[in-house]
Amino acid sequence: MSNHQLDNASNKSVKKAVLVLFHNDLRIEDNETLVKAATLTKSNQGNLMLIYAGFLADCIEPKESRQAYHFNEMGAARQQFLSESLADLDRSLQRLGNRLLYLSPSYSSKSQLSQDKVESALNAFTQLCQLIEQQQVTDICVSHTADYNQNKGYAALQSKYPQIIWHRQSTHTLFADLPTQDLPKSFTQFRKKVEASHDLLNADEEVAVFPTPKSLPPMPDALIAHSKYLFKTQPSDEQALSFKGGETNAMIHLTHYFDSAAPRTYKTTRNALDDWTHSTKFSPWLANGCLSVKILLNRLRHYEREIIANESTYWIWFELLWREYFYWYAIEHGSNLFLFKGIGHELPATHFDDQRLQQWQNGSTPYPIVNACMNQLKQTGYMSNRGRQIVASCFIHELGLDWRYGATYFEQHLIDYDVASNWGNWQYLAGVGADPRGCRQFNLCKQTQQYDPNGEFIDKWQGGHVS
């Protein structure tokens, strides 16, 4: 009997499988992708494989070949938050009768990309292909994403396996489709159009969410004993970070926030640089998909009905619309999100300067408020929205640097990194994006006086002396 016949004989004994590729949907509540996969699997009486294979584009096309301003390692805080999120997802899946499989290459603490890491990245895509073939995958379920490079990974799989049926669900946004006929050129136009025809905040009915599965079909028997694919909890830094990854912690924070008085004063406190209660802090869980934005909006609607509806509670909706706008902006502009000239026609008058870049990254610029924000980011993976505007303005105007290097550094370290919001906001501030006013420059002395008048934030994060 030939090897081909042996393979066919072996495959006949393998149940067909449905595959879920998690990305920015790391939860079980209101996860249409998971519901769809479970339904398909049950109808096929097959197996269900649940895989996290992040950075697929790096596996098929190493980042350094795509852009000169790549990073070699994920920041410690971002990696820890992601690991905690995956561990929580794995525990939830186990309660439902399945397990999380993990094929993403690990990030080491080495400053250079080692040969082992390159091989690991390439091998992750190869391993995914092997699983698809060995387990006779008939369907692949993914969530829609604005991540251009992740979508390139999906496209590579579709090209390799044209016989597999793909199912894409909306899990990351309020709207399954662009809620306007065309994407407006500015956020204000987008907001007005949405509020005129799709005002979810004041709609009669709550936003519909998908039920949590009571159970899941099992993974293939062969993988249960194949421990190299099973997700293993990574040792975490002993440093106590304010943010803890995972859907469980997301729901705890959601409850605590709306049980407090913080929502009623959000608009007046949201620009604070370093207070836990002064902004919502939902962004890390939203970015990783540990928290459904629809569940969040329904909780906000409940707060307005039962507690108070004022300008501050409206402003939470306002910020959710900003997030929505940048998502559709990233979908609309694709690879232009990463161009030096952005979506414009003229190149910015900035350039690359390694010494100035290092000063900014290391918090050793002549500007204490900037240094403090950068030190906070490196230690915690978090920076307030006001802080991000301050350091980005300094990066572009005072230091005269190519904005893409700033966006990439944020990608490396932010625990709430979201490709659309991050790159869209950097384009916005650099004057090459969705802003009719062009470049926005902040007066750093005025910002310091307004948001850190006593120097407490600068002292805490060792920003240096204010002259």
Condensed to tens digits (0 to 9), the pLDDT of residues 51-61 reads: 998 777 666 66
Whether residue 410 is annotated as binding a ligand: the answer is no
Whether residue 325 is annotated as binding a ligand: the answer is yes
Residue 240's pLDDT is 55
Whether residue 161 is annotated as binding a ligand: the answer is no
274 and 326 assigned to the same domain: yes
3-class SS of residue 203: coil
266 and 367 assigned to the same domain: no
Residue 110's pLDDT is 34
144 and 45 assigned to the same domain: yes
Whether residue 237 is annotated as binding a ligand: the answer is no
- Domain presence at residue 224: no
- Domain presence at residue 239: no
Residue 118 has pLDDT above 70, yes or no: no
Containing structural domain, residue 431: 354-461
3-class SS of residue 173: coil
Whether residue 320 is annotated as binding a ligand: the answer is yes
Q: What is the number of structural domains in the chain? A: 3
CATH number at residue 195: 1.25.40.80
**Nearest alpha-carbon partner for 173 in 322, 54, 283, 294:** 294
CATH number at residue 135: 3.40.50.620
97 and 201 assigned to the same domain: no
- Mean pLDDT for the stretch of residues 315-326: 98
Whether residue 323 is annotated as binding a ligand: the answer is yes
75 and 126 assigned to the same domain: yes
66-96 pLDDT, tens digit per residue, is 455 677 789 999 999 999 999 999 999 999 9
Separation between Cα atoms, residue 118 and residue 184, nearest integer Å: 41
Asked whether the beta carbons of 380 and 344 are under 8 A apart, the reply is: no
Among 276, 305, 337, give the residue marking a domain's end.
Answer: 337
- Mean pLDDT for the stretch of residues 441-458: 96
Among 144, 171, 198, give the residue marking a domain's end.
Answer: 171
368-418 pLDDT, tens digit per residue, is 999 999 999 999 999 999 999 999 999 999 999 999 999 999 999 999 999
Whether residue 139 is annotated as binding a ligand: the answer is no
Amino acid at the residue 179:
P
Residue 237's pLDDT is 63
Whether residue 382 is annotated as binding a ligand: the answer is no
Q: What is the percentage of the chain residues whose pLDDT exceeds 90?
A: 78
Integer CA distances (angstroms), 1 to 7, 12, 199, in order? 10, 16, 66
317 and 366 assigned to the same domain: no
Residue 447's pLDDT is 97
Handedness of CA 157, 163, 164, 165 (dihedral sign): positive
Residue 63 has pLDDT above 80, yes or no: no
Q: Bridge-partner residues for 164, per DSSP?
A: none
Q: Which residues lie below 8 Å from residue 297, measured CB to CB, with a gap of 6+?
A: 174, 200, 201, 207, 317, 320
Separation between Cα atoms, residue 41 and residue 48, nearest integer Å: 6
Separation between Cα atoms, residue 302 and residue 300, nearest integer Å: 5
188 and 283 assigned to the same domain: yes
Phi–psi pair at 174, nearest 5 degrees: -75, -30
- Domain presence at residue 435: yes
- Mean pLDDT for the stretch of residues 142-151: 95
Whether residue 319 is annotated as binding a ligand: the answer is yes
Residue 138 has pLDDT above 80, yes or no: yes
322-365 pLDDT, tens digit per residue, is 999 999 999 999 999 999 999 988 899 999 999 999 999 999 99
Whether residue 282 is annotated as binding a ligand: the answer is yes
3-class SS of residue 231: coil
Residue 132 has pLDDT above 70, yes or no: yes
- Domain presence at residue 118: yes
Whether residue 109 is annotated as binding a ligand: the answer is no
Among 337, 365, 386, give the residue marking a domain's end.
Answer: 337
Separation between Cα atoms, residue 63 and residue 124, nearest integer Å: 15
- Domain presence at residue 225: no
Q: What is the percentage of the chain residues whose pLDDT exceeds 70?
A: 87
306 and 426 assigned to the same domain: no
pTM of the model: 0.92
Residue 169 has pLDDT above 70, yes or no: yes
55 and 86 assigned to the same domain: yes
437 and 294 assigned to the same domain: no
Whether residue 257 is annotated as binding a ligand: the answer is no
364 and 430 assigned to the same domain: yes
300 and 390 assigned to the same domain: no
Separation between Cα atoms, residue 130 and residue 287, nearest integer Å: 30
